[in-house]
Amino acid sequence: MKVLLSGNEAIARGAFEADVKIATAYPGTPSTEILETIAMEYKNIYSEWSPNEKVAFEVATGASMAGARCLVAMKHVGLNVAADPYMTFAYTGVKGGFIVISADDPSMHSSQNEQDNRFYAKFAQIPMLEPSDSQDGKDFVKIGLDISEEYDTPVMLRLVTRISHSKCAVEISDPISKETLGFERDIPKYVMVPGHARLRRKIVIERLERLKVLSDNTDLNRIEKGRSEVGIITAGISYQYAKEAFPDASYLKLGMPYPLPEKKIREFAKSVDRLFIVEELEPFIEEQIKAMGIECEGKKWFTNFGELSSSLVEEGFVKAGVLHKRTIEHTNPEELFPRPPVLCPGCPHRGVFSVLKKFKVPVTGDIGCYTLGALEPLSSIDSCVCMGASIGEAIGIAKAGGAEKGVVAAIGDSTFMHSGITGLLDASYNKANITVVILDNRTTAMTGGQNHPGTGTTLMGEQSFQVDLVKLCEACGVTDIHVVDAYKLDETREALKSSFEHQGPSVVITNRPCALMPRKIKEQPYTVISDACNGCKLCFRVGCPAIFASKELTKKGHPKALIDPVQCTGCSICAQVCPENAIVLDETAKVPVR
Amino acid sequence: MEKKDINILIVGVGGQGVLLASEILSLLAIEVGMDIKKSEVHGMSQRGGVVSSHVRIADKVYSPTLNFGEADVILSFEAAEALRALPWLKKGGTLITSHTRLVPPITTIGKYSYPDDPIAEIKKKNIDLKDTDADAIAKELGNPRLVNTILLGVLSNSLDIPEESWLDVVRKRVPPKFVDLNVEAFKRGRSLEFKAAGVEG
């Protein structure tokens, strides 16, 4: 039977069909729906949101040691967080089959960088599979688990956004049944003290040689004979772009691009006049093939910047002189306003940033919806690098004497638990004069609202322990802690002011939930009394999508404000910044029934 | 049934139902035995940003994404987004758009402005335009969220697939409570007539 599945949904299906017992992850675009689908559709698999990717990886590692098939999923930068267990688990090897999924984001649709995680496979010397569509994605989970068990190695499944988030028809099968073998003591295999690690390192080197033989023999790496003038070696999504641009060339499609099938590549290279490598991002395959002493052309024609497309690949082949130029007529792009993502109407982050802007202190930022506080008109965040970075950066700025008036680290609840706690410990221990604002909206909002240890519910829908952030901060040694209502600007302002006066680390926790979670919060909307509005634009500066410039002008010719009652959630932030009291509750409006 | 390759670009703003519309279209293609790929970007784009979904239907589809000048049909839920999407339209292709205006907050701070009349701008380009006030029709039918189904109805005339097949998928994919309303909205969209000049008949 064929069903329409995204790459992520197909991988979840693959996990089900291959009898995966344990699946773990921390949410991150474009990987999030893998675990969401498993939890929703395949409830016989134990699934969890772990507090971060390192823990997720380690939970899966333990499950493998206990002989269960397992899968751990993360976005590309998540593997940086999990890199510590990842690099050494490559030494210990597995018992139950183990797949680590790295979902990369070329073009940085929702990421801070576009690192090419294929290098992680080579770095750890473990096999990597790369699907070209959802069908491959589903099939490769099972094939990967089989390889993992046969070769005693973790296996990487590398995705990109266009695989994760593209849908196509997938032929599904019935699940197989796989026994969980159980935990058995094996100290030399799993205890990586130097003496054991040296022995395992030798095994890693030998294993790689055996994997090279597999790579040469597996159907995952297949030759598709076409015209002999042009041969193309490609993998993953790039295969689709190349086939679209140059359907009648000869292909070596690599479903297993690490380790490379050297014999097959030599044989293929001999059969064609010119050899091209089409790959997105870095010249990962190209450099290795050149190191084999085989002549080939790649990044000379195809960019390493951002996603490829069939037209970019076609352009490359035209420049290389193997395709004729085609002209496709189209209109030129219009000069239009941009439509960047914005904080939602009623978002509890809006008030905090409009207050922070007035203090004119450095604000180190973190990863989440609140990073949008860096955009106009709020423009209140000065940095964003990686999960949890805000606190360490703030400590560094304070220690360097960069801010007499105060330094703020702005971090969300999920991000704080992911990797902010250790930063806060550092602030207490090393007496840093900073203010950590924990924007506690009780969800992982940016990725669509996932549970975490602060929400009281697990991924599988069970009620659970709910962390108490105040107690947690106290236990980290913080004595100056303020809990404020993010919809009350005065209260937020006072708490921040007091925290700047306090010597040593302070924490300000805002406690309004996300305006969208678990359902859209909607109170009585606000409205503008047109006669009272003087066109000062202060309400425009909170950047709310529900506030518009009216066509009605003041005597001085400034547009008055207008509120869309459908979008307005009644958070009242705009009313609080209005100096003329022109924004009031709309008593006549209907409140939607909840 | 005659099989026909078609590339469709669906555009709108986060929350307008772009993804549901492309999902319905894709399921339909599978039902009639065609190969289909669709691609879109989730994540940041949901926060009021532009949402676009590429849908490609053919005997065999490789790339899940379209390039400029490759869309046979553009289906737009928002007037300015229709204007923004124009370079994707194939020469001789059809642009279907709602008159809906969603003015983003970035235009209130004065740096940028929303075009006065995006539909008029599009008309200047001399393309096959099917524009309609889908919001007004949705309101008349009693639910503002029917805009995407009405537009799917308009789109259905561009594909060689019987009405009943469309309605089957619509019935399966919308909440049970709203099935009748959506069927009505689809039929309304499908029966709209457009003059060659792009003026609604």
Residue at A102 is within a domain: yes
Q: Which of A1, A114, A329, A331 best probes binding to B when mutated, by most B CB atoms within 10 angstroms? A: A331
For chain B, domains (ranges, CATH) are: 6-191 (3.40.920.10)
Q: What's residue B43's pLDDT?
A: 53
Q: Say whether both A361 and A465 belong to one domain.
A: yes
Residue at A326 is within a domain: no
Buried b or exposed e, range B141-156, using 16+ CB within 10 angstroms: beeeebbbbbbbbbbb
Both tokens of residue A432? 């840093």
Q: Taking the CA atoms of chain B, what radius of gyration do you get in angstroms?
A: 16
Of A217, A242, A261, the one marking the end of a domain is A217
pLDDT at B61 over 80: yes
Instruction: State pLDDT tens for residues A44-89.
Output: 999 999 999 999 999 999 999 999 999 999 999 999 999 999 999 9
Q: Which of A166, A340, A369 comes nearest B64 by C-beta? A: A166
**Residue matched to tokens 């790459």:** A7
pLDDT at B24 over 80: yes
Q: Which of B27, B36, B43 comes nearest A109 by C-beta? A: B43
Amino acid at A312: L
Q: A536 in contact with B at a CB cutoff of 8 Å?
A: no
Amino acid at A269: A
Q: A174 in contact with B at a CB cutoff of 8 Å?
A: no
Q: How far is A462 from chain B (nearest CA, A)?
A: 26
Q: Which of B9, B65, B77, B83 best probes binding to A when mutated, by most A CB atoms within 10 angstroms? A: B65
Taking residues A168-188, what's their average pLDDT? 96
Whether cis (ω within 30° of 0) applies to the bond prior to A525 is no
Residue B168, C-beta contacts closer than 8 angstroms, at least 6 positions apart: B31
Q: Give the ranges where A478-583 is alpha helix by DSSP (H).
A: 489-501, 573-577
Q: Looking at residue A575, which CATH number applies to its domain?
A: 3.30.70.20
Q: Backbone phi, then psi, for A37, in 5-degree steps?
A: -70, -40
Q: Say whether both A64 and A133 belong to one domain.
A: yes
Q: Say whether both A237 and A358 belong to one domain.
A: no
Contact B107 A545 (CB under 8 A): no
Domain of A547 in residue numbering reads as 526-585
- Positive or negative, the CA dihedral A525, A529, A530, A535 is negative
Q: Say whether both A474 and A574 belong to one domain.
A: no
| Overall domain count for chain A | 4
Chain B neighbors of A166, CB-CB under 8 A: 37-39, 64-65
Q: How far is B47 from chain A (nearest CA, A)?
A: 5
Q: A244 in contact with B at a CB cutoff of 8 Å?
A: yes
Instruction: State pLDDT tens for residues A255-270.
Output: 999 999 999 999 999 9
Taking the C-alpha atoms of residue A91 and residue A503, their distance in angstroms, rounded to an integer, is: 47
DSSP A465-497: ----HHHHHHHTT--EEEEE-TT-HHHHHHHHH
Strands A249-254 and A227-235: parallel
Residue B48's pLDDT band, with cuts at 50, 70 and 90, is confident
> How many degrees, rounded to 5, is the angle at CA A315 between CA A314 and CA A318?
90
Say how many C-beta atoms besides its own lie within 10 A of residue B92's C-beta. 9
Q: B27 in contact with A at a CB cutoff of 8 Å?
A: yes
Which residue in B135, B122, B69, B115 sits closest to B95, CA to CA? B122
Q: B45 in contact with A at a CB cutoff of 8 Å?
A: yes
Q: Could you tell me which chain B residue has the CA closest to the CA of A448?
A: B43
Whether cis (ω within 30° of 0) applies to the bond prior to A505 is no
Q: Say whether both A231 and A270 belong to one domain.
A: yes
Q: Looking at residue A188, which CATH number applies to its domain?
A: 3.40.50.970
Q: What's residue B196's pLDDT?
A: 62
Q: What's residue A560's pLDDT?
A: 95
Taking the C-alpha atoms of residue A131 and residue A143, their distance in angstroms, rounded to an integer, is: 11
Q: Say whether both A79 and A177 belong to one domain.
A: yes
State the pTM of this model.
Answer: 0.95
The partner residues of A437 in beta bridges, in order of sequence, read A410, A508
| Contacts with B, A 398-457, CB within 8 Å | 446-448
Residue at A339 is within a domain: no
Q: Say whether both A505 and A548 belong to one domain.
A: no
Q: Say whether both A407 and A469 belong to one domain.
A: yes
Taking the C-alpha atoms of residue B31 and residue A3, their distance in angstroms, rounded to an integer, is: 10
Taking the C-alpha atoms of residue A378 and residue B106, their distance in angstroms, rounded to an integer, is: 11
Residue at A25 is within a domain: yes
Region of residue A557 (left: phi > 0; alpha: psi -120 to 50; beta: else) = left
Residue at A401 is within a domain: yes
Residue at A574 is within a domain: yes
| Contacts with B, A 75-104, CB within 8 Å | none
Buried b or exposed e, range B4-18, using 16+ CB within 10 angstroms: eebbbbbbbbbebbb
Q: Which of A328, A447, A543 comes nearest B105 by C-beta? A: A543
